[in-house]
Amino acid sequence: MNYFKTTVLMALLIGVMVAVGGAFGGQHGAAIMLVISLGMSFFSYWFSDTMVLKAYHAIVIEPDNPDPNAQQLYRMVNNLAANADLPMPKVAIIQDSTPNAFATGRNPDHGVVAVTTGIMQALNYDELSGVIAHELSHIKNRDTLISTIVAAVAGAISMIAQMAQWAAIFGAGRSDDDDNGGIIGLLATIIIAPLAAMIIQMAISRTREYAADKSGGEICGNPLFLASALEKIDYFAKHARPMQDATPATSHMFIVNPLSGTRKAMMSLFSTHPATEDRIARLREQAAESGKM
């Protein structure tokens, strides 16, 4: 069901882009904006693992790392990757006391799982395995690719809206016979379309989190491991200091939004993550259905 929702939402997002691009740029407007936006996103997608690891000063570890905690983490990732039928991803550690984790990489052969030192201290073995399984699910489901495509389309819509805004300011394309319909269409292009694109983009992000929760619960062997981990991580995100290098541009990557404690709760439509309570409830329901309760 999560995959079906993602497909429907992506189709809807592309539909918004085509409609807006056609309204403002003529028959080829949407295609031109999509090509430009895809070009801008390609570099980010191809080098996403390198860029984000540098941004968070993450250190990639090897199996012979002298730290026993790092060795245990590496073995855990290796075992869970085998359970998920995935190639062994890179494993990285971020020196930050706030518990959190993320996955990146353009495909399963270039996957990276990164965890903070805080999450290694805050969670027990089973809980950490649930988090790692969730992140491996993102790699297996190619969520980096999906998020890049969605961001490209949403970016194209925003570019069209900005062009329409400047055209309105300088009077491009206007004539004395412009009627209310033209004004309404222009306002829809400038205001409503980007807003709709953002709502759809956030909905797709939430859908991918639900999907990763579900398959993560299967990979680690017990959805309750992940449910317990989410409860702890969410508490720290809301009550402890935010991650040192966390930014809105990368907050969607983490298992729990690392900035959730720095601002008032946002409307659910504009959230990159589902409510943690809802995620936990689904995981408990999954555990009950699989006889793990």
| Secondary structure of 50-74 as H, E, C letters | HHHHHHCCCEEECCCCCCHHHHHHH
Q: How confident is the model at residue 209 (pLDDT cuts 50, 70, 90)?
A: very high
- Cα gap 58→244, rounded to integer Å: 12
Q: What is the pLDDT of residue 176?
A: 47
- Cα gap 12→268, rounded to integer Å: 19
Q: What is the pLDDT of residue 179?
A: 47
From the list 61, 67, 125, 124, the residue with the least C-alpha distance to 93 is 61
Q: How confident is the model at residue 40 (pLDDT cuts 50, 70, 90)?
A: low
Listed in sequence order, the DSSP H helices in 221-265 are 223-239
Total Cβ atoms within 10 A of residue 172: 10
- Cα gap 116→61, rounded to integer Å: 13
Single pTM value for the model? 0.79
pLDDT tens digit sequence for 63-74: 999 999 999 999
The residues assigned a catalytic role are 135
Q: How confident is the model at residue 270 (pLDDT cuts 50, 70, 90)?
A: confident
Q: What is the pLDDT of residue 180?
A: 44
Q: What is the DSSP letter of 91?
A: E
Residue bearing the bigger pLDDT, 101 or 55: 101
pLDDT tens digit sequence for 148-206: 777 767 766 776 666 666 666 666 444 444 444 456 656 666 677 778 778 888 888 89
Beta bridge partners of 254: 102
Distances, alpha carbon 262 to alpha carbons 118, 181, 233, 277, in Å: 18, 42, 15, 19
- Cα gap 274→151, rounded to integer Å: 19
Q: What is the pLDDT of residue 284?
A: 97
- Cα gap 70→63, rounded to integer Å: 8
HEC readout, 137-159: HHHHCCHHHHHHHHHHHHHHHHH
Q: What is the pLDDT of residue 38?
A: 62
- Cα gap 153→15, rounded to integer Å: 10
